[in-house]
């Protein structure tokens, strides 16, 4: 299943001038190499952003002083007008330019046009101080919006700082520093204490401890042993270690994470899409109403004063500017995505924050999701007719063709693979196991459904044994079975308890034997559990839940979970043990495989949605009140400025709260 299909089910991106505006607001100030400037240059940039507003503010204060407190004989007529025009230009010209550019692109009724008409209209009726003040406060509001959005985006992009530009590799035991992007698979990286790893690889040193916070949000050190996988972005905590590069720079797990996060803001939540569509209809209507407020009273009022009604219409235009909605709402979702990424949870779009907020049923896989996915062979029960060691060597050789955790357990139990064993016609039977020919005879290794499929008679009752069973048949005869046990993750119980506290139903679906699944489900308190399921059975179970009009989140990690992940309302993948297929298909990725991140993701979604709707209600309520007062002549430009810029700033401050919340 391709990404496009996933995104289509939530709604395609709608491009408009608002998207361009937000993109402008979220641009980083970077040097030619693409690196962020240092702190001092950022401060300089911020000062430059405020400089036009400072100039206008000083000129406006002087002009108001000359008008009301320090009367000057020369400050009249054209000189007075020119002074206010000069005060207007630093903040007004950029807005007038944006309005012109928007009109050229076909977006006539933009907020820039509204502010341009309102302030030029104020000059036309000789309300010079108010004309400058409205544009000044609007410009200041825009700057604060820009800074707030940049901060939200910066929080999301902090992962960029985790990719070092250079790595030290060993060539003939000589250290050499090269660009990380030029490192090749097979290169040996020498990683000093405190350094960040630039590429994914295999640890060559005996042991090494790493800080994995960049990938998982967890600061707890993770100790790796020789041969284990280490990932780009991990920080070496102790002595010098060596890592063999196994994945190209552009294909590292961290690079994929960055792509996911950077793409996330382009998948809009339904609320965002609605506000965009609403703004495109709302603004022309407001302009028409403003014209009506100005001109219609001429037919109904005897002492009609054009300047008075034009002033009311201009107030109406200022109040109606939708910037509080169109900026604070995306900013709220940016904040939600950023807060999630800091906790090791990656949302592939703000639309999935909304879906997570409304999840009613969490359906989960067992192995690797609620359990560790680390199996150990407990017992080998073979018929005495067969040579135990020979059969185990054949089983080990066949299981080496699989990436399933069971295969790893068998390999650890049996030892090195016997290279003298030749496998022919190897076939993986989905949901059943493996089949091959060894020494001209058929070897079957899998669950007891595989035995049934090939009509292999056996004298064992699988339901009477709690452990996971691996059945073996050779030369059409039942050999026996291996029992394999897996342990429940330490935070699995907390996960289920928190989901129940949120009023969310829980269901476990697994291909493992039903007795094991029921045992785990009963121990954790999971509401419904089903075992012995093939991939298509999982799909059917999820379809049954969806048919009840329930919003379903499916959590899985295996390749066979990909179809269910794609089918569910929101698919969640375990990013550590998870297969690439499942991670690619999923809408949300949990980087450290901790199931306790599931209720955390739901909570972040709920808080984000709550803040977004608080902003919508605040903006509409205040604007509606001041619109009525303005149309009735009871509000001035100053109230209009508060209704526009003031509400926008309040909404922005509320939106950035989510980044400071402790979940």
The three-state (H, E, C) secondary structure of 630-661, written as one string:
HHCCCCCHHHHHHHHHHHHHHHHHHHHHHHHC
Enumerate long-range contacts of 45-54, CB under 8 Å, 24 or more apart. 46/147, 49/143, 49/146, 49/147, 50/140, 50/143, 51/90, 52/90, 52/91, 52/94, 52/139, 53/90, 53/91, 53/136, 53/139, 53/140, 53/143
Q: How confident is the model at residue 365, as a pLDDT?
A: 87
- Choosing from 107, 187, 365, 644, the catalytic residue is 365
- Across 8-25, b (16+ Cβ under 10 Å) vs e yields eebeeeeebbbbebbeeb
Average pLDDT per consecutive 10 residues, the chain (663 residues; last block may be shorter): 33 36 42 40 68 93 91 90 95 91 81 81 84 84 73 56 78 88 91 87 90 60 85 83 89 66 56 65 81 89 87 81 71 81 82 91 88 84 92 94 82 91 90 92 94 94 86 96 88 95 94 86 93 84 90 78 80 67 73 89 93 87 81 76 77 80 74
Q: How confident is the model at residue 288, as a pLDDT?
A: 86
Q: How confident is the model at residue 149, as a pLDDT?
A: 64
CA angle, 420 then 426 then 429, to 5°: 140
Asked whether this chain's domains 163-261 and 376-485 adopt the same fold, the reply is: no
Q: How confident is the model at residue 243, as a pLDDT?
A: 94
- Beta-carbon neighbour count of residue 85 at 10 Å? 15
CATH class of the domain defined by 376-485: alpha beta
Q: Are strands 477-485 and 468-474 parallel, antiparallel or unpaired?
A: antiparallel
Give the domain ranges of the chain.
Answer: 163-261, 376-485
Q: What is the DSSP string of 293-346?
A: HHHGGGGT-TT--HHHHHHHHHHHHHHH-THHHHHHHHHHHHHHHHHHHHTTEE
Q: Is 206 a catalytic residue?
A: no
**CATH number of the 163-261 domain:** 2.70.150.10
Q: Please indicate, yes or no, whether the overall pTM of this predicted structure exceeds 0.75.
A: no
Q: How confident is the model at residue 203, as a pLDDT?
A: 93
């Amino acid at each position: 299943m391709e990404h496009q299909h996933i995104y289509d089910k939530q709604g395609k991106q709608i491009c408009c001038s608002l998207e361009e505006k937000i993109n402008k607001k979220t641009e980083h100030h970077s040097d030619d190499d693409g690196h962020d400037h240092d702190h001092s240059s950022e401060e300089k940039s911020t000062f430059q952003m405020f400089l036009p507003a400072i100039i206008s503010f000083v000129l406006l204060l002087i002009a108001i002083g000359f008008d009301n407190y320090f009367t000057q004989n020369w400050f009249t007529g054209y000189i007075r007008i020119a002074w206010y025009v000069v005060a207007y230009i630093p903040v007004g010209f950029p807005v007038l330019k944006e309005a012109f550019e928007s009109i050229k692109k076909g977006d006539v009724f933009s907020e820039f046009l509204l502010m341009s008409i309102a302030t030029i209209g104020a000059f036309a009726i000789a309300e010079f101080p108010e004309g400058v003040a409205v544009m000044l406060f609007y410009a200041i509001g825009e700057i604060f919006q820009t800074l707030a959005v940049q901060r939200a985006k910066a929080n999301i992009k902090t992962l960029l700082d985790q990719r070092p530009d250079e790595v030290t590799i060993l060539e003939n035991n000589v250290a050499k520093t090269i660009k990380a992007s030029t490192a090749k698979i097979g290169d040996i990286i020498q990683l000093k204490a405190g350094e960040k790893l630039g590429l994914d690889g295999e640890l060559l040193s005996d042991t090494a401890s790493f800080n994995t916070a960049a990938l998982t949000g967890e600061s707890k050190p993770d100790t790796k042993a020789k041969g284990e996988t280490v990932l780009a972005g991990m920080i070496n905590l102790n002595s010098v270690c060596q890592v063999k590069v196994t994945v190209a720079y552009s294909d590292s797990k961290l690079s994929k994470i960055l792509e996911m996060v950077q793409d996330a803001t382009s998948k809009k939540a339904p609320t965002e899409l609605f506000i965009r569509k609403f703004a495109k209809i709302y603004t022309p209507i407001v302009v028409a109403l403003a014209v009506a407020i100005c001109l219609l009273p001429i037919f109904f009022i005897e002492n009609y004063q054009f300047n008075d009604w034009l002033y009311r219409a201009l107030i109406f235009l200022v109040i109606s500017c939708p910037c509080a909605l169109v900026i604070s709402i995306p900013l709220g979702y940016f904040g939600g995505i950023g807060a999630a990424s800091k906790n090791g949870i990656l949302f592939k779009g703000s639309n999935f924050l909304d879906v997570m907020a409304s999840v009613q049923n969490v359906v989960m896989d067992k192995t690797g999701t609620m359990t560790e996915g680390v199996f150990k062979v407990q017992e080998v029960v073979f018929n005495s007719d067969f040579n135990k060691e020979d059969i185990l060597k054949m089983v080990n050789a066949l299981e080496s063709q699989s990436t399933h955790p069971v295969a790893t357990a068998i390999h650890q139990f049996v030892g090195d693979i016997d290279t003298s064993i030749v496998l022919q016609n190897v076939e993986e039977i989905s949901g059943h196991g493996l089949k091959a020919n060894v020494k001209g005879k058929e070897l079957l290794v899998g669950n007891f459904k595989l035995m049934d499929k090939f009509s292999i008679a056996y004298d064992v009752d699988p339901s009477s044994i709690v452990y996971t069973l691996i059945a073996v048949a050779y030369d059409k005869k039942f050999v026996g079975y291996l029992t394999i046990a897996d342990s429940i993750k330490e935070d699995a119980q907390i996960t289920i308890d928190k989901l129940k506290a949120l009023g969310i139903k829980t269901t476990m679906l697994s291909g493992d034997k039903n007795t094991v699944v029921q045992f785990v489900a009963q121990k954790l308190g999971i509401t419904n559990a089903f075992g012995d399921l093939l991939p298509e059975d999982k799909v059917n179970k999820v379809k049954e839940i969806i048919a009840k009009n329930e919003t379903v989140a499916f959590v899985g990690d295996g390749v066979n979970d990909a179809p269910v992940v794609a089918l569910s309302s929101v698919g969640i993948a375990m990013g550590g043990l998870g297969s690439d297929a499942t991670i690619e298909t999923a809408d949300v990725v949990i980087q450290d495989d901790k199931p306790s991140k599931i209720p955390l993701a739901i909570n972040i979604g709920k808080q984000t949605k709550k803040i977004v709707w608080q902003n919508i209600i605040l903006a509409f309520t205040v604007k509606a009140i001041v619109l009525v007062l303005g149309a009735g002549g009871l509000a001035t430009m100053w109230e209009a400025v508060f209704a526009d810029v003031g509400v926008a700033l309040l909404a922005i401050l509320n939106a950035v709260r989510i980044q400071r919340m402790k979940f």
